[in-house]
Structure 1
Amino acid sequence: MRIGVVAIPGTFDSAFTSVLDILRVAEMLRPSVDRDIPPLETTVVGLRPSVRTAGGLIVEADRALDDGLDDYDVLVVPALGALSAPAVEDALALPEIRRLRAVLHDSPEAELPRLAGACTGTFLLAEAGRLDGVTAATSWWLSETFRRRYPKVDLDTSRMVVRSSSVLTAGAAFAHIDLAVSLVAETSPRLAETVVHHLLIDERPARSMEAVHAHLAVTDTLVTRLEDEVRRRISDDLSVTDLADALGVTRRTLERHVRLRTGATPNQLVRRLRAERAKHLRRTTDLSMDQIAHRVGYANAVTLRRLLASTT
């Protein structure tokens, strides 16, 4: 997964750095968990060559926004560094923020990566019209302002992280941690669990009950065991019933755990893991599409191309 993290001028230091730290730790741990897990490539996307955070940290960009967004699978917009409605509105009026808003608003949806935002960063996504018609989260103390400004967004303040097909949003400042863990978990629940334990994320005090439930879902051992089983037998003809039998649970139990953890069915999770393995093989080997198709459980390249097109 190729992830661009936007360096927002004046952002809260922890909001920006926590996302980078979690994603980079995940990549450091990935080979020890499973080398076949697709790499997490993290890039700092600059609105300027360098920006200063709220605490005075100078962040140098790896790439400029003007270089385009085609190379990213996900673009993360962290907090704007504002704690009140007037401060958020002032931040949205900054020239750099208006330029980012214009890029996100004017680009055809097919040319944009998946978008992710946390805390007041969700205001920028909404300002660009990218949250219209979907359910999203934001900082709870700004919910009235958010609803007034963006009536087309279905705001949900009861959840820490809200997923939709094209965007991933999270609530207040420390929800950046949950946002980053969720991105890792989309690549590999097992890797996310390892990151959580290494960084002692589960020891954070005073989390909401929703965050507790989200964390329990991330560390659901049945789902990580399923991931291991699928990766081990990825070239086989896999059915949900066979997988449930191999894990010693009923099909219904397996489906419930997978849906709670990922929002998908077991079959959808299997397809995602097959697609990830295929993309990894395309980047790292000289195998033909037909050869890759056989290695990930498909009969031919035509079927594989359909899978990859549907998961892009």
Structure 2
Amino acid sequence: MRISILALDGLFDTGLTVTLDALAIANRFAQRRSKTALFEVSIVGVRKRVRTGQGFLIPAQEAASVAKPDWIIVPALTTSTPESLIPALERKDVKQAVKHLLAWHGKGAHIASSCIGSFLLAETGLLDGHEATTTWWLAPLFRQRYPNVSLDESRMLVSSGRLVTTGAAMGHLDLALWLIRKASPDLSQMVSRYLLADIRSSQAPYIIPNHLAQADPLIVRFERWAREHLKEGFSLQQAASALAVSARTLQRRCQSVLGKSPLDYFQDLRVEHARSLVQGGVDLEEIAAEVGYADGATLRSLLRQRLGRGVRELRADLR
């Protein structure tokens, strides 16, 4: 399998190196078995040398000379805020990279992106009409900029046709393990054990609701109101009245910014608060009352459903 990693100035160092390391480890194990490496990996760029986010210079094969790899991987840029990312997407080298991605895809190549790399892939228009994921804290910006993409930032990896997107930061490793598994499930398991890493299905346990709310003033106000009413049953009309907007406006704004209903976001805040209390050792029945649930059993089921982990596991995290 021929894999080209598209490197641009300011790329996320960890994303690049963890991808290279995982694929190199897989090749070493494969060669022990059959004397043949599974992956032919190259770094390509619109320039011959690329400066990483940490300031290291790395050589790159010129993209114009690359005919058609089996896979193109687009790692993240070190631009973790909207204020830094939006100007980066307007750079000349990024525009050139977009053209190369379109050309490679037109020739039949598969394209995978990780973390903020999904923004660069979305710039091509190839994700329009497809499902995708991205780094969770930039999901509101992604929805605003690419309304034709079906975004679900709770998922860690989304495969749609010849396009693959993965979630935040260490999603680069999830992507590498996924590619290895496509070539050899046994080999993927071996690499996972050596790296003490597994493919994760969800980003949900890592999402901080407060960070998502900051993208919109109305959502910030809604979050404050919601935190003050966690003990009560949720009422869309009551929330909208308190914020001096219509229920329809609040519903639409939550959907456009957060990709979910006001009730779903209210539930996210309940789960976040409950998790912090669980990890603080508070009795489960007390926590249930604090976040508006009838009993501990109901809360236990909700935590398992939303976080994929039980009370015992959550408390064990801090030991």
TM over 0.5: yes
Partner SS for 2:127: coil
Q: For 1:1-312, list aligned pairs within 5 A.
A: 1-32=1-32, 34-35=33-34, 39-61=38-60, 63-70=61-68, 72-105=69-102, 107=103, 109-202=105-198
Query: Quick one: structure 1 residues 35 and 153, their matched pair in 2 at CA, closer, same or farther if it must change by over 3 Å?
Result: same
Q: Would you identify which runs of 4 or more consecutive aligned residues in structure 1 move more than 6 Å?
A: none
Taking the aligned partners of 2:26 and 2:199, their CA distance within structure 1 comes to 18
Taking the aligned partners of 1:79 and 1:155, their CA distance within structure 2 comes to 17
**TM-score, normalisation: structure 1:** 0.61
RMSD between aligned alpha carbons?
Answer: 2.3
User: Deviation per CA, 1:247-275, whole angstroms, max 9, x where unpaired?
Assistant: xxxxxxxxxxxxxxxxxxxxxxxxxxxxx
Which residue identity lines up with residue 83 of structure 1 in the other structure?
S
Q: Contact 2:46/2:93 (CA < 8 Å) preserved in 1? A: yes
Query: Quick one: structure 1 residues 108 and 5, their matched pair in 2 at CA, closer, same or farther if it must change by over 3 Å?
Result: closer
**Partner of 2:220 in structure 1?**
none
Taking the aligned partners of 1:143 and 1:109, their CA distance within structure 2 comes to 25
Deviation larger for 96-105 or 186-195: 96-105
Counting aligned pairs with the same residue, the percent is: 37
Taking the aligned partners of 1:69 and 1:11, their CA distance within structure 2 comes to 23
Number of aligned pairs?
Answer: 205
Name stretches of at least 5 consecutive residues in structure 1 with no aligned partner: 211-312
Partner SS for 2:34: coil
Taking the aligned partners of 2:185 and 2:30, their CA distance within structure 1 comes to 11
Q: How far is 1:109 from its partner?
A: 4.1
Taking the aligned partners of 2:199 and 2:95, their CA distance within structure 1 comes to 38
Partner SS for 1:15: helix
Taking the aligned partners of 2:77 and 2:161, their CA distance within structure 1 comes to 24
User: Deviation per CA, 1:241-300, whole angstroms, max 9, x where unpaired?
Assistant: xxxxxxxxxxxxxxxxxxxxxxxxxxxxxxxxxxxxxxxxxxxxxxxxxxxxxxxxxxxx
Q: How far is 1:16 from its partner?
A: 1.0
Q: Contact 2:31/2:37 (CA < 8 Å) preserved in 1? A: no
Q: Contact 1:37/1:188 (CA < 8 Å) preserved in 2? A: no
Query: Quick one: structure 1 residues 203 and 43, their matched pair in 2 at CA, closer, same or farther if it must change by over 3 Å?
Result: closer
Q: Contact 2:156/2:167 (CA < 8 Å) preserved in 1? A: yes
Q: Contact 2:114/2:167 (CA < 8 Å) preserved in 1? A: yes
Taking the aligned partners of 1:121 and 1:173, their CA distance within structure 2 comes to 10
